[in-house]
Structure 1
Amino acid sequence: MRVEGREPGHSEGRRQPGPVCTGWGWAAVTALAPGENRPAPGDRLMVTVTCSAPVDVSALLLAADGKVRSDGDFVFFNQPVGPGVTYRHGQGSGDVVDVRPPALPADIDKVVVTASLDGSGPPTFGSVGSLTATITGEQDTLTFPLSKLSTETAVVCVEIYRRAGAWKVRAVGQGYDNGLAGVATDFGVNIDDEPVPPAPAPSVPHSSRTDPTVIANPVAGQQYSPPQYQAPHDRAPQYPAQSGPPPGYPAAPAAGYPPPGPGYPPPQQPYPPVAPPPPPTPAHSSQQGAQPMHSELFDPRHAEVSGMGIQKQGGKMIKVGVNGETLVRSGSMVAYQGDLHFQALGSGGIGRAIQQRLTGEGVPLMKVSGRGDLFVANGAADVHIIDLDGTDGLTINGSNVLAFDPTLGYDIRMVQGAAGYASNAGLFNCVFSGRGRIAITSHGSPVVLNVDQPTYADPQAAIAWSSSLQTGMKRNDSFGLGRLMGRSTGEGMTLSFSGRGFVIVQPSELPPGGMLGGTGGGQEAGQSGGLLGGLLG
C-alpha cells in the first residue's frame, strides 16, 4: 500500500503491543523493516545496539558525497566524541550512539551507525543469535531487528539523514565481510597510520654509561659506538653505517651469552670500562648541627645515569632524557624530573586502534613531551635495550615493549603460518622498523639464539626476533591415544624460525598477565583468546 506524502519504500511500520518507558516518558514502539524510513522521533536520538555476542558500535558522519570529511568524523571506542555525536559503552546493556541532529555541522548530511564483531566471540554474524538497533527519541521509539546475516563481520544498522531540511531515520542492514576496517574504508576513513619517519641525520650521542646492548646487524669485528640522539623535533638519531653481514644477522650476544653458531661473525669486543661517577651528595646531609645520613642507598650504583635518550637505569628500569618527544608504554612512568607533559595515544592512530581491537595485539602508548628526565619500568621486569640500524626490522611481543624512539615506525602483523591456530585470525605481534632505540622487557635473563639451524621456541617464551626470519607453527605432539589418555607432552605447538637472524627467548612460559592464554594484552589484559592467546601483546 502506498501512503501519500511519504517517500517510496516507506511503510506504515508495525506497532509493537504496548508502549515503553524512555528517558522522556512513555512512548510507542515501531518495528522497522529493512529499507523502511520514518521521520526522526526528536531532536536527540539515542541509538542503542544490542547483540547476543560482543560487538563494537561506531558512527560515521558523512558529507554529501557519502564520505567522511576527515578521520575526526569516525566516532568509535577509541575516538568517542565527534561534532554532534557521542559514543558511550553500554557496560553489558548495549553500546549507545547519541546523535543530536541540530548540533551536526551544516555540511554533514548523514550519520550511519554500525556494529562489528570484536573478535572475542563468533567469527561471523551468521553465528549470532540476535542483533537489534533501537532509536529512541522524545516522541517515539523505533526498533530494527537485523536478520538473514551470514558471513558478515560488520553491518550498517541504521542511518540518520537529512532530506528537504528535515531529519529522517532509515533501517539499512547492509553487511560487510571485512569487519570494522572494511566499513571505515568504504566511507572514506584513512586507516593507514603515520608514515615512516624521514631518514636520520647526525646529532648528539647517547650516553656511554649505559650497559652493553643487543645491536641489530653489527659489522663483523667492529667495535660498537653508541647511536646518536637528538630531540625528535629536529632530527632522527644517527646509527653506525653497516657493511658486514647480510640483513637479519644478529648482534653478537653480550657477555655471558653462548658464542654464535658456525659461520657467524665473531663476537664484538665489550665496552671499555667506564670510571664510576662520584658518590651523590645526600639531600639532607648538611643541615646545621645534624650529622650526614649514611646508607648503602647512596652508593654510586644507585645514582641516576646521565645522557639524553633511552638509557638503562639498573636492570629493571630505564631513564629517558627527554628533549622534545618520546613514546613509552602507558602507565609505565615511575618518576620524572623537569617540565614533562603526558598524552595518552592508545595504540597510535585509527588504523592501529582497529587492528588492536580485532587482534588483541598492540602497545598502549603515551607520548611524553617537554624537557626533563623520565623513569620508566613495568612490573619490575628485566629491561634490555636494542638499537635498530634500519637494515632489518624487529618483531616483538606487544606486552614486552617498554619505550622506543619516535623515529621508529611500527605495525601489527600476523605471525607467518599461524592462521587457524587461534580463535580469531591467528597470532599477531608488533613489527618495528627504521633507525632508533627500543627498550623491551623480559621475565628473567633471556638467551639470544642465532638461527643457524632450524629453531623452535615456546610461543610464550619467544619475546622478539629478526623480522626477516621465516616463521611458522610446528605440531610436536600428535593428536592420538596418548593425548586422549592424558599423556600429552604439554608442548603441543611451537613457533618455528628459519633464515638468518636471531630469536630472544625468556626463561618463562607464562603468558603476560597470568596462567590463562590471552590474558596479556595492551594493558596486561588481552582481548583475543585462543590456544596461543597469551602471546597476543
Structure 2
Amino acid sequence: MKVLARGENCPAPTGPLTVELSSSTHVDVSALLLASNGRVRSDADMVFWNQPEGAGVEYRRASSGHLVRVDPSAIPADIETVVIAASLDGTGPTTFAAAGPVSVAVSDASAPQVSYSADGIGDESALVCIEVYRRGDQWKIRAVGQGYADGLAGLANAFGISVETDEPPAPAEPSSPITDSTVNSPARQGVLAMRSELFAPAHAEVPGSGIQKQGSKMCRIGMNGDIMARAGSMVAYQGNLQFEAKGSGGIGRALKQALSGEGVPLMKVTGQGDLFLANAAQDVHLIDLDGSDGLTINGANVLAFESTLSYDIKRVQGAAAGGNAGFFNCVFTGRGRIAITTDGVPVVLNVDQPTFADPQAAVAWSSSLQTRVKKNDSFGLGTLIGRTTGERFTLEFAGQGFVVVQPSEQPPGGLVGGTGGGEQAGVGGALGGLLGR
C-alpha cells in the first residue's frame, strides 16, 4: 500500500474509490466538488451527513469511521477536484493539534491502496485531508494536511459555500488557512482561499508516464524506474526519488577517454514520483528513437534520456584529427526518448540537398548523415559567419535526414573552441561544455 507524506501525490486506483477516515475524537466529514476556479458550483456540491449524495460522490457513516465513495466516471466534466475534509464537532478538543491525526485510507474494489495520516500543525479546527483530482484523462490523489481555524464554516466559505447565520455577518476578511509557509505552500487551487491566473489549467502538471513536456521550457518525467538526467537540472520533484551522481562507470568510461580523464556531470534518478527538469529557461524538445538511426547531438543540449538508450563520444565525420579538436559530439543509439534543449525556437532542416550550418548553431542531426568540416574561407565568406568558433568553420551535411539548428551560436558551456588554459586546454577545454560541464 502506498503511504503518502504531506504534499505528495500518486495516481488514483482505477474504478470507484472508497475513502475511509477515522479519528480518536468525534469529527464531521465532508466532500466538496470544485470546478476549475477552486470553488463549488452551488451548495449541492457539498456532500456531508445532512446531504449525503452528490454528483459521483456519496457519504455514509460506518462502524469503522466515515466513508466517502468517489466514482470518477460519474463526476461531471466541469468538476476538477474532490476535496475531502474533517472538522471538529465541538464535543471534544478544539484543535487538531490536540485531537491527533485523522487516518485516511483509499481503497479500490479489492483492498486499501493508498494511506495518509493528516494532522494539525496549529489551531486548525477543520482540516483538508486529501484531494482526488484530474490531470488530463487521469485521476490522482494528493495528501494535503492544511486547515482552517474557524472550523466547518471557514472551510465552507473558502470554497464558495454560503453559511447562514442568525445575525447579518459583519464584513470580514476571507478565511485564511493555517499552513506551514515552506512545506505547506499551496499545491493546488482550492486548498487555499486565493485566486490567480497561475491556477489555470495551462500551468497544471501534465499527465502521463515517462518523459513529457511541461510547457515549453521544462519537462516532467512520470517516474517508475530510472532515468538519466543532466546533473543540476532538477527544479522540483514529488514522491520517493533517489539521485545518484554518475561521474564514472559504464557511461563515464567512454567519456573519460575522450575527456582525458575528466568526469561527466550526469545523474541517475530512480524511484516513483514526478521529476521536473529544466536548464537555463531553454526550450525543451522530445525526440523518440526507434533504433533505425542514431542521433548526433551537442552534449550541452542534452537534458534527459531513457536508460534504454546508449551513447558514445565521437569525432564529427570529416573533422581532421590534428586541426579541429573541438568537433566532438554525443551519438545516441537504441530505442527510447531523449529530451533536448535549444537556445530559442529552432528550425528543423530536411537534408535533401547540400546543407550547411555553424557548428555551435547545429544542435542535433541524424547520425546517418555524412558530415564534412570546411573553413569558411573556402566558401568565400571569410569572417562573415562563424563569429563564435574562433576558427571560422562550417559543417556540411549530405544524405537523407534532418538537422536541428537553434537561433544562437553559443550553447551553454561553449562546446566548440574551449577557452580554458592549462589542464583545461586542448581536447579537455574544447569539451568543457559537454553534457553541461
TM-score (norm 1): 0.42
Provide, for residues 83-127 of structure 1, a one-character-per-residue CA deviation record: whole Å limited to 9, x for no partner: xxxxxxxxxxxxxxxxxxxxxxxxxxxxxxxxxxxxxxxxxxxxx
1:444 and 1:343 mapped to 2: Cα distance? 30
1:403 and 1:370 mapped to 2: Cα distance? 16
Provide, for residues 183-232 of structure 1, a one-character-per-residue CA deviation record: whole Å limited to 9, x for no partner: xxxxxxxxxxxxxxxxxxxxxxxxxxxxxxxxxxxxxxxxxxxxxxxxxx
Counterpart of 1:451, as a letter, is V
User: Please, which of 206, 213, 216 is the counterpart of residue 312 of structure 1?
Assistant: 213
Alignment of 1:405 onto 2:306:
yes
Alignment of 1:337 onto 2:238:
yes
Identify the residue that residue 253 of structure 2 maps to in structure 1.
351
Identify the residue that residue 472 of structure 1 maps to in structure 2.
372
More strand by share: 2
1:515 and 1:351 mapped to 2: Cα distance? 20
1:502 and 1:337 mapped to 2: Cα distance? 36
Q: Where does 1:226-375 land on structure 2 (aligned, <5 Å)?
A: 287=148, 288=150, 289=154, 290=175, 292-346=193-247, 348-349=249-250, 350-358=252-260, 364-375=265-276
Alignment of 1:517 onto 2:417:
yes
**1:527: how far off?**
6.0
1:328 and 1:321 mapped to 2: Cα distance? 13
Contact 1:511-1:519 at 8 Å conserved across structures: no
1:453 and 1:301 mapped to 2: Cα distance? 40
Q: 1:460 to 1:501 in 2, by over 3 A?
A: same
Counterpart of 1:308, as a letter, is S
Identify the residue that residue 429 of structure 1 maps to in structure 2.
329
**Paired residue secondary structure (1:477):** helix
Q: 1:304 to 1:441 in 2, by over 3 A?
A: same
Identify the residue that residue 390 of structure 1 maps to in structure 2.
291
Alignment of 1:453 onto 2:353:
yes
**1:414: how far off?**
0.6
Please list every run of 5 or more consecutive structure 1 residues that lacks an aligned counterpart in the other structure: 1-273
**1:322: how far off?**
1.1
2:195 and 2:358 mapped to 1: Cα distance? 47
Contact 1:396-1:430 at 8 Å conserved across structures: yes
Counterpart of 2:330, as a letter, is C
**1:379: how far off?**
1.0
**Paired residue secondary structure (2:289):** strand
2:195 and 2:271 mapped to 1: Cα distance? 35
**Paired residue secondary structure (1:399):** helix
Q: Where does 1:161-240 land on structure 2 (aligned, <5 Å)?
A: none
**1:321: how far off?**
1.1
**1:308: how far off?**
1.1
Provide, for residues 465-495 of structure 1, a one-character-per-residue CA deviation record: whole Å limited to 9, x for no partner: 0000001112222599x96xxxx32443210
**1:421: how far off?**
6.6
**Paired residue secondary structure (1:474):** strand
**1:353: how far off?**
3.8
Contact 1:404-1:438 at 8 Å conserved across structures: yes
Identify the residue that residue 207 of structure 1 maps to in structure 2.
none
Provide, for residues 122-154 of structure 1, a one-character-per-residue CA deviation record: whole Å limited to 9, x for no partner: xxxxxxxxxxxxxxxxxxxxxxxxxxxxxxxxx
Q: 1:348 to 1:395 in 2, by over 3 A?
A: farther
- Aligned positions, number: 253
Identify the residue that residue 444 of structure 1 maps to in structure 2.
344
Contact 2:374-2:394 at 8 Å conserved across structures: yes
**1:422: how far off?**
4.5
2:379 and 2:401 mapped to 1: Cα distance? 32
Q: 1:471 to 1:493 in 2, by over 3 A?
A: same
User: Please, which of 307, 318, 343 is the counterpart of residue 417 of structure 1?
Assistant: 318
User: Please, which of 371, 384, 387 is the counterpart of residue 489 of structure 1?
Assistant: 384
**1:372: how far off?**
1.0
Contact 1:336-1:373 at 8 Å conserved across structures: yes
Q: 1:305 to 1:445 in 2, by over 3 A?
A: same
Q: 1:510 to 1:367 in 2, by over 3 A?
A: same
TM-score (norm 2): 0.51
Using the aligned pairs only, state the percent identity. Answer: 61
Please list every run of 5 or more consecutive structure 2 residues that lacks an aligned counterpart in the other structure: 1-134, 155-174, 177-192, 387-391
Contact 1:318-1:375 at 8 Å conserved across structures: yes
1:428 and 1:437 mapped to 2: Cα distance? 22
